[in-house]
Amino acid sequence: MSAVASVTVDLAKVTENTRRVIDALGGRAVYGVTKVTCGSPEVAQAMLAGGAVGIADSRFENIARMREAGVDADFWSLRAPAPALADDVVRIADLSLESEIETVAALNAAAARAGKRHRILAMVDLGDLREGMMPAELPAFLDAAEAMPDIEVFGIGTSLTCYGAIVPDADNLGELVALTQTAEARLGRRLHVSGGMSSSLDALADGVLPARIDGLRIGESILLGVSTVTREPILGLHTDAITVSAPVIECMRKPSAPHGTSAQDAFGQRAVFLDRGERLRAILAMGRQDVVPEGIVPLDSRVQVLGASSDHLVLDVHDLPDPPRLGDTIAFVPSYAATLAAFTSPYVEKRFVG
């Protein structure tokens, strides 16, 4: 029993999922992405224990938190900083993903002030339309970055699926490899090919992940055990390494459809209700400020999520053999969006087991 909503991470399952992903990738480098957990040091350590060669996060505040907690790793900053934050990124991160040469120039100046070299991954947009320069812009970018004494161009990378929902395949990943090989000829040395994120595991499963891809940045598939293309289980990974739960604060028989004049709900939506007569309903101490109700699946399939307001989650528990008691917790497997909300909410307790 618990008095508050909580998100629980089974660290042993995170470690095992990381190991299984690395094994499936045939030893390619995996950078564990911790951003959905707000840079949890515990999750980072579990990924490293499973064989991740480094940790990646989109916010340098999260990287700073992990370093302060004693996580010893090669840290990648996934979101390019505004130039004004270059000193912070150079101080905190070992490598950052970049597409604007103005930002790289700011990083070069910051690295000079810090007395260190800063590595970058040159990001190319291959159709997803999130970050990355267009392929034709890559040669000029590389020439300019290579001339900066305190910048090291570590490799070429791309992001797919996160914004435009474009699936990694033989064509776009093949283009990434070809661009990298041209860049290698231009710079006269081998470069790292960073072939995307969790969605590239589908290319692996389909047998079209190019052999030349050197590494992937993996978060969701390690933590939730699913493909980010289909949201179905992938590579035999644990799908319950993360769960969310909350205590019952009311359990009563009520009509299944409201009565009276209907208007918008608190979030500007007009809800639709199925009238199933009187049903046993439970309310949990968790709402939209804590989780995305459409993205949670009860561990007990006899429980149904009906909806939520800011602070209340409404369930149909009529099919349970015994009504839940006040204070009993009901647990769910969260989607990526629900996991992100739970870790971000200050009202959800974070627990680590295993």
Catalytic site positions: 35
Q: Is the pTM of this model over 0.75?
A: yes
Residue 281 predicted with pLDDT over 70 = yes
Residue 268 predicted with pLDDT over 80 = no
Q: Which two tokens stand for residue 121?
A: 């991954």
Q: pLDDT per residue over 237-249, tens digit each? A: 999 999 999 999 9
Q: pLDDT per residue over 5-62, tens digit each? A: 999 999 999 999 999 999 999 989 999 999 999 999 999 999 999 999 999 999 999 9
CA dist list (Å): 37 to 102, 148, 240, 327: 30, 35, 15, 26
> What pLDDT is attached to residue 256?
84
Contact yes or no for 247/3 (Cβ under 8 A): yes
Please tell me whether residue 256 adopts helix, strand or coil conformation: coil
> What pLDDT is attached to residue 265?
67
Burial class (CB in 10 A: 0-12, 13-18, 19+), 331: middle
> What pLDDT is attached to residue 27?
85
| Other Cβ atoms within 10 Å of 26 Cβ, number | 9
The CATH classification number of 11-224 equals 3.20.20.10
Q: Considering only CA atoms, which of 216, 142, 144 is closest in space to residue 179?
A: 142
| Other Cβ atoms within 10 Å of 230 Cβ, number | 11
Domain residues of the chain, as ranges? 11-224, 242-353
Q: pLDDT per residue over 122-154, tens digit each? A: 999 999 999 999 999 999 999 999 999 999 999
Cα of 80 vs its chain's centroid, Å: 16
- Average pLDDT estimate for 95-110: 98
> What pLDDT is attached to residue 2?
73
Residue 272 predicted with pLDDT over 90 = no
> What pLDDT is attached to residue 1?
59
Distance CA 306, CA 341 (A): 19
Distance CA 291, CA 344 (A): 9
